[in-house]
Amino acid sequence: MRRKHILIAFSGVLVLVFAVVGLLAWVAGTTAGARLAIRVASALTPLDVSAGRIQGRLWDEIYLDGVHIGWTEGDVLAEAITLKWQPMYLLTGDVIISELHVKGLRIEDRSPEERIDLRWPAIEGFPARVNGWIDSLQISGLSYRKAGRESAQLRRISSALIWYDTQLTLRNVSIDADFVTLSGTISAGFERPFLSADARIMPVSPPYGVESFLVRANLKAGTSPVQIEGPVKVVAMKGGKEDTTFTAFTKVMRYAVTTEDMIIRESGRRGSLEGRARIDFGTQSPQLSASLQLVDLDLSPEVGIDTHLAGTVSVEGPLDNYAGAFRLTNAGRTWRFAEIDGSLRDAGCAGP
């Protein structure tokens, strides 16, 4: 009798296992199963998830259009999403996606207005325990709108994405906007913060003949309150050659960004602009403070005579209403010596 009970129990468990496997196979292997999975996700989470037409299956490739994900403070809508992946790798803790293509992505943000917070993200739970990659990530037509503001738009984003050991790498990034394009590689760490970038920014309408800007950054974890810090270099390119170079040691805090040991030099011109600056986001309106020094600057291409311009420029106040002062001298022959000082406001110049 006891053996009979064990056999009945074992048979019941076996039937249950086959039923669960069959259900999972149906969910993963059929279009109807994919639609059910979306409904379950909507029912079990605080998200309102829906889709119009669904083709394919969750097992390998699925196409959705009219996708909507909503919550109390926003909505994400997509005209179409194509996903090609290998879900079997989930058993080993990996997410392997060969293609994730999104068309017409629109983000509506209804969250309350808050001051700018640069807190470095902390990745915890399931995302921190898995690894994975996306061979081809493409977003065609991205729109983000904060309630009460005009929308920000990008025409196209493409990249290969790697997520490993809480580190995110975007390789062969290409971002196409109305006014600028960006390409390169960007990496960030979230368990121990870091940010590195090697990118080229190309303005659609080149300012002052500048064809592109090369940006290189290598910021690593700092000591509180500094989250990440390190060197940043920006090079303006003209005619395929370096024209103007900006270097600085940058620190990112939760509510402020500082640049120290800042140096700006132009190729072929004597002298430099040096100093430090800080933007503080801890108040309702971001505050700027900067202290700059002109060091033996030659303006002969502009004024036609040799100059040795030196002096200081300081500014302070809100970004849209700052004020400051300057004191400049030109050291040279007696008849070329000059000294001038004055004040600055709203990027304009008042008299001394």
pLDDT, one tens digit per residue, over 91-109 is: 788 888 899 999 999 999 9
pLDDT at 41: 61
Which two tokens mark 85?
């992946």
DSSP letter string over 192-206? TTEEEEEEEEEESS-
Which two tokens mark 116?
């700018």
Query: Is 349 among the domain residues?
Result: yes
Query: Is 342 among the domain residues?
Result: yes
DSSP letter string over 1-28? -HHHHHHHHHHHHHHHHHHHHHHHHHHH
* Rounded CA separation 54/67 (Å): 10
Domain range for 292 is 269-352
Query: Is 274 among the domain residues?
Result: yes
Which two tokens mark 110?
């209804």
Q: How many CA atoms lie within 13 A of 103 on its CB side?
A: 9
- 108's CB contacts (< 8 A; 6+ apart) are 74, 75, 76, 77, 145, 147
pLDDT at 197: 97
pLDDT at 333: 58
- Per-10-residue mean pLDDT, the chain, length 352: 39 36 44 61 73 80 87 89 84 87 92 87 81 93 87 93 93 93 96 95 88 96 95 95 96 96 94 95 88 90 81 89 87 65 64 42
Query: Is 232 among the domain residues?
Result: no
- Whether cis (ω within 30° of 0) applies to the bond prior to 206 is no
Does an H or E element contain 35, and which? helix 31-44
Query: Is 36 among the domain residues?
Result: no
Which two tokens mark 95?
């997410």
Query: Is 318 among the domain residues?
Result: yes
Q: Domains in the chain: how many in total?
A: 1
Query: Is 281 among the domain residues?
Result: yes
Query: Is 92 among the domain residues?
Result: no
